[in-house]
Amino acid sequence: MNMLLRLRTGPLIRVSVAVLVAAAAVSAVPAADTPTPADVRRKLDEAKTLLEAGRPAKARPLVEAAAGDLAALAALPRIPSGVRPLMDLCGELKDDLELEGIDVSGITIPRLNASAVAAPAKPSQAAAAPAKAVSGVSFTRQVAPMLLTHCGGCHVTGRRGDFHMPSYEALMKTGLVQRGAGDASRIVDVIVTGDMPRGGGRVQPQELAVLVAWINAGAPFDGPDPAAPLGQGSAPAAAGITPGGSPGDRMPAAVALKPGDVSFAFQIAPVLQRNCVGCHDDTQPEARLSMTTFARLARGGESGAPFVAGRGADSLLVRKIKGASGIEGQRMPIGKPPLAADVIALVEKWIDQGAKLDMLGPDAPLADLAAAGRARSLSHAELKAARFAAAENLWRRALPDENPAVARLDDVIVLGNMPQSRLDEVAGSIDKAARGARELLIDGDGPLLKGGVACLLFAKPYDFSNFHEATTRQERPKGMAGDAAISGDVVYGAAIVPSATADGADDDLAAVVTEQVVAAAFLGRGAPAWFARGAGRTVAGKLAAKAGVVKTWRQESADAVARLGSPEDFFGGHAGAVSQAAVGGGFVSALAPAPAKLEALVAKLDAGAAFDAAFAEVFKSQPQPLFATWAAKQARKPAGKR
């Protein structure tokens, strides 16, 4: 398991987070033989390690024992904080065991009611002094110093286990913080259950109370630059970008270009990628200016904003690549030939025209933007040849020891670490799924996506874990059995293949591959992840309605909505990819109960419209108010009918 997500604290921390935040006293001590959340976590971690090592039979008794411990904890008068996520993890491991062909009929995972939370305990004479009430928590003055103290050596200045949170922005992207839901946030869970920190000393109850209060308040940022390193001063914000708040709220969305406009994706991003990103990356960027995304470029670095929209000649970026007199430092790019005059003129023209982003989103990697720009200029056949070759290269870079079987379909290339005969069987289901999705989404004879998509299949859960960690540098989230993403020229959906011997395996296979192929098709058109994941489940639910996994998705959607901290978590991905897919499936299904609206959206995206504009035209509103209405309606439904 990714070592980053583990923190270890002493027994004083194993108290209800609700008690700490409410400034109550220490929880009552359970009986000596009552298991603790940390006990359960150790068993589940060991079981997961055994599963990933290919020893599911050894993992089963640990999962069963953990389930029994969870049942004991669920029966306590005051249920300890952190039990709910442990139940989710236990359920995930049970599913993984079943996928490995292990009999799990004797393993029962308890469930908590929505109201089953740790109640404040009454203070006693013997209790230690309670923590003081926390209000108006500052991230820069209170939360950041605490993170530096307890996590800094491993995960702020270091990258232990490939987990890195050097700034507020990076922390929020990890998914550890769920705005508005301190108890449900992973960063709180790993502290309360005793997993972390490992080298920064014990987190005190008052410190934990501060952290939870900050999350419950929406995890606000009160500094000048959310991308600045924790504990350090920040660079001035780029022109037109308001400091503070959520990074995604401040950055402009992609817009449609007018004839004659310079394309950032097709014309500017490749220039920056070739000449600038080598020095201005995310690890130790020169002058603290990262150019790995449009958002990071726009924020600027030590010297301020690199461009001022509408003022190309005066912008720092243009002055640096021109080598203009009076600039501080050397002409850029250092160690390479100066950029050609026509290239510099193109950059200047782009800024003069408003420095607009025309594809994907402000947080998309520059490599993905450049790839999207190339895709626009190639024919379907040319792009498919390039994309299919890139998909095979992606597999081999991620899993160099796993030589995949390959099947090439009309609009999909299928790669999987299984015998060719099995892959050919699975490819038949994928071909049927892709054709069905195309009939629902495409008006006419066009492809499901220009250039096609890659479908990457994994015979075992740990195979997918290895791929996910190699491509994203993050641990596979609990409960994730598949995902869709863009990596340079590759637009792909990845999934664990259900066991062929399981009941309903064919229906489940059709559902999971449809989900990921459709999600990839929407990502390739510039749709945000929340919509792509939701549309994937929506279309899969229509084409494989009888699949057992589809019924599971519906229940997961209701549960995930109830646990969601805030709409910002959903739209920003801070609640995690698994939660985003679960909530998105329900939301997009409600938006588009019939395929006609999804088909209309696809048509507008294919015509060059930006996602926000296309969405507003098709659904007659923006996503946020529609989501608020839908979520409120879900909350009013009885628990069994959501």
Instruction: Look at residue 19 in the predicted model and tell me its pLDDT.
Output: 38
Phi, psi dihedrals of residue 136, rounded to the nearest 5°: 55, 45
Q: Which of 143, 219, 157 has its CA nearest to residue 182?
A: 219
Instruction: Look at residue 407 in the predicted model and tell me its pLDDT.
Output: 95
Report the 10 Å Cβ neighbour count for 113: 9
Instruction: Name the DSSP letter for residue 166.
Output: -
Can you say whether the dihedral through the CA atoms of 504, 418, 458, 491 is positive or negative? Answer: negative
Instruction: Look at residue 25 in the predicted model and tell me its pLDDT.
Output: 31
Enumerate domains of the chain plus CATH numbers.
Answer: 3-99 (no CATH), 139-216 (no CATH), 264-357 (no CATH), 377-641 (1.10.390)
Q: Per the omega criterion (within 30 degrees of 0), is the bond before 333 cis?
A: yes
Total residues belonging to the chain: 642
Report the 10 Å Cβ neighbour count for 210: 21
Mean pLDDT by 10 residues, the chain (642 residues): 36 38 37 75 89 88 92 79 78 81 84 46 33 62 78 62 74 83 82 67 78 87 75 40 36 76 89 87 78 85 80 88 74 86 93 88 83 84 92 92 92 94 92 94 91 94 90 85 89 88 80 95 92 96 91 87 82 84 94 93 90 92 92 76 54
β-bridge partners, 570: none
Instruction: Quickly list DSSP for 2-48.
Output: -GGG-----GGG-S-HHHHHTT--PPPPPPTTS--HHHHHHHHHHHH
Instruction: Look at residue 3 in the predicted model and tell me its pLDDT.
Output: 36
Q: What gap in Å lies between CA 154 and CA 140, rounded to an integer?
A: 19
3-class SS of residue 406 = strand
Instruction: Look at residue 178 in the predicted model and tell me its pLDDT.
Output: 85
Can you say whether the dihedral through the CA atoms of 313, 316, 317, 320 is positive or negative? Answer: positive
* Residue 257 CA to its chain's centroid (Å): 29
- Whole-model pTM: value is 0.59
Instruction: Look at residue 31 in the predicted model and tell me its pLDDT.
Output: 52
Amino acid, res. 130: P
Q: Which of 627, 606, 603, 601 has its CA nearest to residue 616?
A: 601
Q: What gap in Å lies between CA 159 and CA 152, rounded to an integer?
A: 10
Instruction: Look at residue 418 in the predicted model and tell me its pLDDT.
Output: 92
Instruction: Quickly list DSSP for 554-577.
Output: HHHHHHHHHH---HHHHHHTTT-H
